[in-house]
Amino acid sequence: MEYGPVLARCPLFRGIGAKELPGLLDCMGAVPRQVRRGETVLAAGGPATHLGVVLSGRVQVSRLTAEGQRIVMGELGPGQLFAESFACARAEALPVTAAAAADGAVLLLDSRRLAVPCSAACGFHGRLIANLLSVLAEKNLFLAGKVEHLSARTIRERLLSYLEELSARTGRAAVTVPFDRQALADYLCVDRSALSRTIGLLRREGVLEAERNRFVLKRKEN
C-alpha cells in the first residue's frame, strides 16, 4: 500500500494492523485523490458525508463569515483528519471548506458506513469508532484552546497566547506554526499587516524571535 506508513500513524487507524487495513478501507468506501495547491477538497454547502485523511501535502480548513471574512480553522499535515466532526454529526451541509494548501493527496472515507459493518472488516469497526471518539475529543480540546486565544482583546495577546500554547505542548521555546503569515492572521482573526507590525514590535522588545513561520519565545511578559 503506497501510503501505508502514513495511515499507520493516523490516529483513526490506531491498533489496526497493516494486513487488516485494506479490507477496512474497502469497507469504508475509501477513495484516494490527488490534489493541487488551492484545489477544493470538500466545499462549504456540500454534503457532510465524508471525512478525510491527509496522505501528503497539507489541507487547510476555513470558513467564511456573513461579511465575507475568511477564518482559518486549522491546517493539517499527513496522517491528520479533516471534516470528521461534521460527518459524524450528520450535518445537513458542511459549514467549512477544506482546500489543498500544497500539492498532495487525500483519502476520503464515507462516514455513513461507520454504522454498517460489512463481513470484510466488521471485526475492526469497534476499534475504528473508538479511535474516532478519541480524535473528536482531542479536536474539542483544540477548539477550546482557540476560543481562549480569540478571547484576548489585542493582537499581541492573541499571538502570544497561541505561541505559548505551542511551546507548552512541545516543551520548547522554539515553535513552528503550521501557517504562512496570511493564514496565521486568518486563524487569529486579525489583519495581516497589523499582525506583522505586532511581530516586529515584539522582536524589537526582545519578547520573541521570528523568521517566517518559526518563532522563539525569549521571555514571559509580566
Q: Do 128 and 30 share a domain, yes or no?
A: yes
Q: Which of 102, 123, 143 is the last residue of a domain?
A: 143
Q: Do 108 and 158 share a domain, yes or no?
A: no
Q: Do 81 and 182 share a domain, yes or no?
A: no
pLDDT of residue 222: 47
The DSSP letter of residue 172 is -
For 65, the grid coordinates are 463569515
CA–CA dist 149, 152 (Å, integer): 6
For the purposes of burial, counting CB atoms within 10 Å of the CB of 200, is it exposed (0-12), middle (13-18) or buried (19 or more)?
exposed
Quick one: which of 194, 186, 104 has its CA closest to 150?
186
Q: Do 54 and 129 share a domain, yes or no?
A: yes
pLDDT of residue 105: 97
> Which CATH number covers residue 195?
1.10.10.10
Is the per-residue pLDDT at 74 higher than 80? yes
pLDDT of residue 1: 61
- 199 or 165: which carries more pLDDT confidence? 199
Q: Do 119 and 206 share a domain, yes or no?
A: no
Q: Poorest-confidence range of 26-40, 69-83, 131-145, 181-195? A: 131-145
pLDDT of residue 136: 87
| H helix or E strand, kind and range, residue 61 | strand 59-64
Q: Do 91 and 9 share a domain, yes or no?
A: yes
Domain ranges, residue 170: 152-217
> Which CATH number covers residue 119?
2.60.120.10
CA–CA dist 74, 162 (Å, integer): 13
What's the pLDDT tens digit per position in 97-137? 999 999 999 999 998 887 666 655 456 777 888 898 888 88
Mean pLDDT of the 142-155 span: 86
Q: Do 63 and 130 share a domain, yes or no?
A: yes
Q: Do 86 and 22 share a domain, yes or no?
A: yes
User: Is 132 a member of any domain?
Assistant: yes
CA–CA dist 142, 151 (Å, integer): 14
pLDDT of residue 133: 87
Whether residue 103 contacts residue 1, with contact meaning beta carbons closer than 8 Å, is answered with no
Place of cell 497561541: 162
Q: Do 201 and 138 share a domain, yes or no?
A: no
For 82, the grid coordinates are 479533516
Q: Poorest-confidence range of 33-42, 120-129, 164-173, 197-206? A: 120-129
Is the per-residue pLDDT at 62 higher than 80? yes
Mean pLDDT of the 53-63 span: 95
pLDDT of residue 7: 92
Q: Do 90 and 172 share a domain, yes or no?
A: no
- How many structural domains are present in the chain? 2
For 109, the grid coordinates are 472515507
pLDDT, mean over the chain: 88
Place of cell 475492526: 124
User: Is 222 a member of any domain?
Assistant: no
